[in-house]
Homo-oligomer: A and B are copies of this chain.
Amino acid sequence: MSPNAITILIGGEAGQGLATIGQLMAKALTRAGYEVCVTQDYQSRIRGGHNTFAIRTGPEPVYGPEEGMDILVALNQETVDRHAAHLKPGGMVVAGQKVDLDGHPGVQVPFTELASKAIYHNVAALGVLGSTLCGDLGILERLVSDTFAKKGQEVVDANLEVLRKAYHWFQAQDYSFHCLSPASEGNAADRIMLHGNEALALGALAAGCNFLSFYPMTPSTSIALTLIGKGGELGLVSEQAEDEIAALNMALGASYAGARACVTTSGGGFSLMVEAVSLAGITETPVVIFLVQRPGPATGLPTRTEQADLNLALYAGHGEFPRALLTPGTVEECFHLAHWAFDLTERYQTPVMVLSDQYLADQYCSVPRFDFASLPEITPPLLQVDELGTYQRYALSPDGVSPRLIPGYCEALVKVDSDEHDEMGHIEEGPANRTAQNEKRLAKASGLRAEVIPPELFGPEESDLLLLCWGSGLGACLEAVELLQERGHKASVLHFKQVWPLREDQFMPFLEGAKTVVAVEGNATGQFAGLLRKETGFAVQGAVLRADGYPLTATYVMQGLESWIA
């Protein structure tokens, strides 16, 4: 973690535009070549309440949020009241003139002077903010031009004027903030900024996903929004279903008929899909399920984060059938694992789930452009078979995978069945057939095991303290390990970006080579640690668990580790 990293926290009510300012600023920093990592905190309401948009940025990689901030952009008084006490030394507040800084260092921006209309205030804030960081005005100008281009030159010009006025206003102030250390050369050119859900959508599109059925549910909706907004040109068919049950059944119908299909949802919606997950299992129909977690049970905390649906995802569906669960830890992994999910589900014809959570979903990051050319081609299903008369959808095979034909292209018939069926796909209730088909389906688990993505180890192979994490827990653990190492501990992180299946051979040496293994999870019961014990017998020595709706942070992890590092 860069010692040169700083945090800008923008706070205000829902509807005040804080996300707009934040996104513009984060994008400007990305274009300037900085590393950027955003954490968003909002409430389940459209107006009012108290929301924040935190940008952590610097010339070197940043992994996640920290508790304090260097610059506090206060769109209202409440922001000062709640957060100013956490200003770091040398930090400052940026606020409007009606906000009382309450003795904290900072500036009161004369927004009404800088911008004639309220709609320009966001750009004014951007100008001031850019200026405090000694940002390049040219980059800000281009960003503003790009952003408002669709609205015509007049709007662009008006915004540019406000931007410049605000930028210069701050420079004229008798106030200086330590400028950001320069970004590394060359970083600027090939970077994009997107959040976890956008990266999932982009990965799906890169995998040729062309069908989406979904029912809106925070925090998953922006995957659907991105797929629809960006995928339309690629020919993506999308339909907002009447409910989540319809969404998954529709995706399965589409997949059967030739689509590369996915659904997006969160815990409650996923619960409603459980029966159809089982249908995907027995019909052997490929489908990717994006499950973006939020705290439960039931409606719980709709806009907050948690990693508590792991068990449900592992065992969703009655009866037994194989599956794979991918759990990206970063925005980049969101992209790659979304692509991989389609690859796996297509080849194994069984449901593949990608688990994210609100924190990662809303986390904007600057990342290198994705290299589409390096991605493997995904083999499409068959449109023709030679043996027209003898084609059988569920032909037995050693690896459990049968040739999947799309109906309507040749005379062979494609029969898929929710009942136990024979090789042709017709209902068949006999025990020998049952055993053959059940074992055929379960046999696909071996292939999935063979292709498991190994967990990634950061730090020494033999450690005093090994932090075990999965999915979005990565950033906090990486930063905590840096702190631990600074304090002289031989600490490592073992991060699982695939939590099912698990393969002991890939990680047992690290667990056994560590003096102490502590699970770090965003839930109250240590679900992954439980899974690990089930599969390997290995019991972690401790756990740092967070289930208050907020993401794991290095500070939180360090506090939780206190007894282990005393």
Q: A interface vs B, CB < 8 Å?
A: 43-44, 245, 267-268, 270-272, 274-275, 277-279, 281-283, 293, 295-304, 306, 308-309, 311-312, 314-321, 418-420, 427, 429, 431-432, 434-435, 438-439, 441-442, 523-525, 530-531, 533-534, 537, 539, 547-550
Q: Tell me if B308 and A279 are in contact (CB < 8 A).
A: no
Q: Which residues of B contact A523 (CB under 8 A)?
A: 320
- Tell me, in angstroms, the Cα distance from A355 to B55 when the chains sit together: 50
Nearest CB in chain B to that of A306: its residue: B319
**Taking A282-B297, A298-B281 as contacts, is the C-beta distance between A524 and B442 under 8 angstroms?**
yes
The 5 closest A-B pairs by CB, nearest first: A296-B319, A267-B318, A297-B319, A534-B534, A271-B275
A sample of 9 inter-chain contacts (CB < 8 A) reads A297-B317, A298-B318, A300-B319, A304-B429, A308-B320, A309-B318, A312-B315, A315-B315, A530-B534
Q: Which residues of B contact A441 (CB under 8 A)?
A: 297
Q: Which of A270, A299, A431, A539 neighbours the largest number of chain B CB atoms within 10 Å of its CB?
A: A299
> 7 more A-B contacts (CB under 8 A) besides A271-B278, A281-B298, A537-B537?
A295-B319, A295-B420, A299-B418, A300-B419, A304-B434, A308-B320, A320-B525
- Tell me, in angstroms, the Cα distance from A98 to B524 when the chains sit together: 68
- Tell me, in angstroms, the Cα distance from A475 to B277 when the chains sit together: 33
Q: Which of A419, A420, A531, A537 neighbours the largest number of chain B CB atoms within 10 Å of its CB?
A: A420
- Tell me, in angstroms, the Cα distance from A257 to B306 when the chains sit together: 32
- Tell me, in angstroms, the Cα distance from A321 to B271 when the chains sit together: 15
Nearest CB in chain B to that of A315: its residue: B311
**Taking A434-B295, A525-B442 as contacts, is the C-beta distance between A308 and B318 under 8 angstroms?**
yes
- Tell me, in angstroms, the Cα distance from A539 to B534 when the chains sit together: 9
- Tell me, in angstroms, the Cα distance from A316 to B311 when the chains sit together: 8
Q: Which residues of B contact A279 (CB under 8 A)?
A: 297-298
Q: Which residues of B contact A283 (CB under 8 A)?
A: 298
- Tell me, in angstroms, the Cα distance from A245 to B434 when the chains sit together: 29
**Taking A278-B268, A319-B296 as contacts, is the C-beta distance between A429 and B43 under 8 angstroms?**
yes
Nearest CB in chain B to that of A532: its residue: B534
Q: Tell me if A282 and B298 are in contact (CB < 8 A).
A: yes
For A272, give its contact among B275, B299, B306 (CB under 8 Å).
Answer: B275
Q: Tell me if B537 and A434 are in contact (CB < 8 A).
A: no
Q: Which residues of B contact A319 (CB under 8 A)?
A: 267, 295-298, 300, 306, 308-309
Q: Which residues of B contact A298 (CB under 8 A)?
A: 275, 278-279, 281-283, 318-319, 418-419
Nearest CB in chain B to that of A291: its residue: B318
Q: Tell me if B318 and A419 are in contact (CB < 8 A).
A: no
**Taking A298-B418, A524-B320, A539-B537 as contacts, is the C-beta distance between A275 and B268 under 8 angstroms?**
yes
Q: Which of A271, A303, A427, A531 neighbours the largest number of chain B CB atoms within 10 Å of its CB?
A: A271
Q: Which residues of B contact A267 (CB under 8 A)?
A: 278, 318-319
Q: Tell me if A318 and B297 are in contact (CB < 8 A).
A: yes
Q: Tell me if B317 and A296 are in contact (CB < 8 A).
A: yes
Distance of A82 from chain B, by nearest CB (Å): 12
Q: Tell me if A268 and B314 are in contact (CB < 8 A).
A: no
Distance of A283 from chain B, by nearest CB (Å): 7
Q: Tell me if A296 and B282 are in contact (CB < 8 A).
A: yes
Q: Which residues of B contact A537 (CB under 8 A)?
A: 533, 537, 539
**Taking A296-B319, A429-B301, A533-B534 as contacts, is the C-beta distance between A548 and B434 under 8 angstroms?**
yes
**Taking A298-B275, A298-B279, A523-B320 as contacts, is the C-beta distance between A429 and B550 under 8 angstroms?**
no
Distance of A516 from chain B, by nearest CB (Å): 17
- Tell me, in angstroms, the Cα distance from A2 to B439 when the chains sit together: 36
- Tell me, in angstroms, the Cα distance from A287 to B307 when the chains sit together: 26
Q: Which residues of B contact A315 (CB under 8 A)?
A: 311-312, 314-315
**Taking A314-B315, A524-B439, A534-B533 as contacts, is the C-beta distance between A321 and B301 under 8 angstroms?**
no
Q: Which residues of B contact A420 (CB under 8 A)?
A: 295, 299-301, 549
- Tell me, in angstroms, the Cα distance from A312 to B318 when the chains sit together: 6
Nearest CB in chain B to that of A527: its residue: B320
- Tell me, in angstroms, the Cα distance from A303 to B301 when the chains sit together: 41
Distance of A287 from chain B, by nearest CB (Å): 14
Q: Tell me if A548 and B275 are in contact (CB < 8 A).
A: no
Distance of A306 from chain B, by nearest CB (Å): 8
Q: Which residues of B contact A317 (CB under 8 A)?
A: 271, 296-297, 312
Nearest CB in chain B to that of A269: its residue: B275
**Taking A429-B304, A525-B442, A531-B534 as contacts, is the C-beta distance between A320 and B299 under 8 angstroms?**
no
**Taking A431-B549, A435-B547, A534-B534 as contacts, is the C-beta distance between A318 and B270 under 8 angstroms?**
yes
- Tell me, in angstroms, the Cα distance from A69 to B438 when the chains sit together: 29
Q: Which residues of B contact A311 (CB under 8 A)?
A: 314-315
Nearest CB in chain B to that of A531: its residue: B534
- Tell me, in angstroms, the Cα distance from A524 to B301 when the chains sit together: 37
- Tell me, in angstroms, the Cα distance from A267 to B274 when the chains sit together: 10
- Tell me, in angstroms, the Cα distance from A251 to B271 when the chains sit together: 18
Nearest CB in chain B to that of A270: its residue: B318
Q: Tell me if A272 and B297 are in contact (CB < 8 A).
A: no
- Tell me, in angstroms, the Cα distance from A550 to B438 when the chains sit together: 14
